[in-house]
Amino acid sequence: MASAMTTFLDNVTTLQTVVLNVTREPYVRPFDDIGIAISAAIIFTFMILGIVGNVLTILVISTNPKLNNLFMHFIRSLCVSDLISALISWLFLYRRTWGFDIWPPLPEVFCRFYWAADLMTNYVTALHILSFAILRYVSIQFPIEFSKIKLKHGKIWIACIWIFCFVVGFIPFFIFFGARVRDRQSSSPDARWPACTINMEWYSTYTLYQKIAYPICLYAPTLGVVFMCLLIGITVRSRSRQRPGETQKDKKKERKEKQAVLQLCLIVFSFLFGYIPFTAYEFWSVQPRPNTMYYRRFDYWFGMTEYFTLRFSECLNPVFYNLGSAKMRQCTQKFLGKYLSCCRKDKTDGNGSSSKQTDFGV
């Protein structure tokens, strides 16, 4: 009997060892040098494009009186949000590559700031686009009421969005996240994650936070934006049907409305393209998974891919702002033309002597 019991216990121990070996493979990084090179090339490209595109849009709107209206104030604020995301994107690259296992030599505050700023700008973008869509609908459906909304009201609205997102986004994430060496052999979800990620003592609080804050700051705005787009499209179409004998003024008004719808649809498309993968990864990554190479690689490249789409969508935004507005395109072309002419003039002045020699030679 004792021998049978001993044999049984030995079998149980063997079975446990087999299970552990199946679910816990020896730790190997889920990426290699080629993966680092590809990721760096993509992220640095998007970072440069994002900085140039958003800075250009901010300068064009800020320096041109023709663009001093409510919608352009929201677009400029959106560009500020996208610019912050582009400026901190190198921190994402570092935490996913060279700082994956050990965060130093960078101070931990860089890790906390990255997460806090990244999520704050996500919230800012979602609420700005929802506000933009609401204003578009009001301007088309209720033009008299819309005319009562002044620029100062829009500035207060924008400031409230930033303050709200700082309180509910930046502060919690600055507290929840940190940089530390992760136990790669544990069954904890953070065994798959980079060193700069959520501190596990906040794990249960963070999952609760996700269930409350994400629906309010991301999902509800997303559904609201889609609903407003449909409502605007229906309104513009019904109005065009009600004007069979159009005057020149009606045609001009309808053309402007269609441009407004196009601009909004492009912005919404860019937003959904970037934030649906982001949301999917956020919920997938916090779920317990077997600590195998498959899940480590899947988690790693899922996280990298959703970040690529997010950065790409933010690079598209300045392009879409111009595609959806003829006035914006004209102002951008004028600004670039003025800047390029100034550069050519400075270059000519700097090489004045050689220019004169060429003229005499001709």
Return the minimum-mean-pLDDT range out of 237-241, 246-250, 263-267, 332-336: 246-250
What local confidence, expressed as pLDDT, does residue 14 receive?
39
Q: Which helix (H) or strand (E) holds 198?
A: strand 196-198
Please tell me the distance from the alpha carbon of residue 83 to that of residue 53, in angstroms, as a whole number.
Answer: 9
Quick one: average pLDDT of 146-150? 89
What local confidence, expressed as pLDDT, does residue 269 receive?
85
CATH number for the region 31-329 comes to 1.20.1070.10
pLDDT band at residue 327 under the 50/70/90 scheme: confident
pLDDT tens figures, 181-190: 888 888 788 8
pTM of the predicted protein model: 0.81
For residue 23, pLDDT over 90 is answered with no
% of the chain exceeding 90 in pLDDT:
38
Return the minimum-mean-pLDDT range out of 142-146, 241-245, 288-292, 353-357: 353-357
Q: Which of 169-173, 184-188, 344-348 has the highest mean pLDDT?
A: 169-173
Which amino acid would we find at residue 207? T
Quick one: average pLDDT of 188-205? 88
pLDDT tens figures, 112-127: 999 999 999 999 999 9
Quick one: average pLDDT of 34-44? 93
Q: What is the DSSP string of 295-343?
A: HHHHHHHHHHHHHHHHHHHHHHHHHHHHHT-HHHHHHHHHHHHHHHHHH
Please tell me the distance from the alpha carbon of residue 358 to that of residue 293, in angstroms, as a whole number.
Answer: 67
Q: What does the block give as tokens for 236?
A: 């513009």
pLDDT band at residue 248 under the 50/70/90 scheme: low
**Residue 1 DSSP one-character state:** -
pLDDT band at residue 81 under the 50/70/90 scheme: very high
Please tell me the distance from the alpha carbon of residue 283 to that of residue 95, in angstroms, as a whole number.
Answer: 19
Please tell me the distance from the alpha carbon of residue 23 to that of residue 17, in angstroms, as a whole number.
Answer: 10
Residues 321/323/327/332 CA torsion (nearest 10 deg): 70
Burial environment of residue 345 by CB neighbours within 10 A (0 to 12, 13 to 18, 19 or more): exposed
Report which of 177, 168, 264 is spatially closest to residue 216, judged by C-alpha positions: 168
How many Å from the N-terminal Cα to the C-terminal Cα in the chain? 113
Quick one: average pLDDT of 234-240? 76
What local confidence, expressed as pLDDT, does residue 172 receive?
96
For residue 230, pLDDT over 80 is answered with yes
pLDDT tens figures, 43-54: 999 999 999 999
The pair phi, psi for residue 196, each rounded to 5°, is: -90, 95
Quick one: average pLDDT of 76-102? 93
For residue 12, pLDDT over 60 is answered with no
Please tell me the distance from the alpha carbon of residue 142 to that of residue 231, in angstroms, as a whole number.
Answer: 13
Return the minimum-mean-pLDDT range out of 71-85, 267-281, 290-304, 344-358: 344-358
Higher-pLDDT residue of 358, 54 = 54
Q: Which of 125-139, 154-168, 309-323 has the highest mean pLDDT?
A: 154-168
What local confidence, expressed as pLDDT, does residue 47 receive?
94
For residue 160, pLDDT over 60 is answered with yes
pLDDT band at residue 356 under the 50/70/90 scheme: very low
Report which of 309, 130, 312 is spatially closest to residue 225, judged by C-alpha positions: 130
